[in-house]
C-alpha cells in the first residue's frame, strides 16, 4: 500500500489542545478580556470546577493563558490570554462562523445527555 503524507505534529498538537472539552469555550471567553475563575465558571454551562481548573492549568502550561493573583481584598485570581493565546482569535472566530452556518443549535437537554453519555463511556 502507498502511504501519503503524515499529519504535521504541530498541527496535531494544536488540534488536540483546542479540541479538548471546554478549551475552546474558555479561549473564546478570554478573547473578550480577562476573567476571574468564578466568572468563567458562571459563563460556561455544565463545566465542573475540576474540569475548569484542569483546562486552565493545561492552557497555562501551553503558554496560551496567564494566571495572575490579584492583591485586592478579597484576593482573587484572574486569567487572561497571552500573546500566543490572542493569536487564536482568527481560528476560534472562524470555527464560530462555521458552526453558525453548518450546525443546528443544540438544546440544553441534548448537550447534557450527550455529555453524560460521553463521560459514562469514558469510565468503562
∠ at Cα 47 (41, 51), nearest 5°? 95
Q: Where are the beta strands (DSSP E) in the chain?
A: 35-36, 65-70, 76-81
At 104 the three-state DSSP class reads coil
Domain boundaries, the chain: 9-102
Domain 9-102 has CATH 1.10.10.10: yes
List, in sequence order, every residue forming a beta bridge with 70; answer none if it has no partner. Answer: 76
pLDDT for 22 equals 96
Q: What is the pTM of this model?
A: 0.80
- Write down the number of H helices and E strands in the chain: 7, 3
Q: Which residues of the chain register pLDDT less than 50?
A: 117-119, 121-124
Amino acid at each position: 500500500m502507498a502511504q501519503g503524507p503524515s499529519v504535521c505534529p504541530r498541527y496535531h498538537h494544536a488540534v488536540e489542545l483546542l479540541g479538548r472539552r471546554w478549551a475552546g469555550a474558555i479561549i473564546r471567553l478570554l478573547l473578550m478580556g480577562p476573567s476571574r475563575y468564578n466568572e468563567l465558571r458562571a459563563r460556561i454551562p455544565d463545566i465542573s470546577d475540576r474540569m475548569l481548573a484542569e483546562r486552565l492549568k493545561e492552557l497555562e502550561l501551553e503558554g496560551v493563558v496567564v494566571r495572575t493573583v490579584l492583591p485586592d481584598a478579597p484576593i482573587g485570581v484572574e486569567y487572561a490570554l497571552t500573546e500566543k493565546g490572542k493569536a487564536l482569535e482568527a481560528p476560534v472566530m472562524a470555527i464560530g462562523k462555521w458552526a453558525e452556518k453548518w450546525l443546528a443549535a443544540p438544546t440544553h437537554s441534548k448537550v447534557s445527555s450527550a455529555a453524560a453519555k460521553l463521560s459514562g463511556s469514558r469510565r468503562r
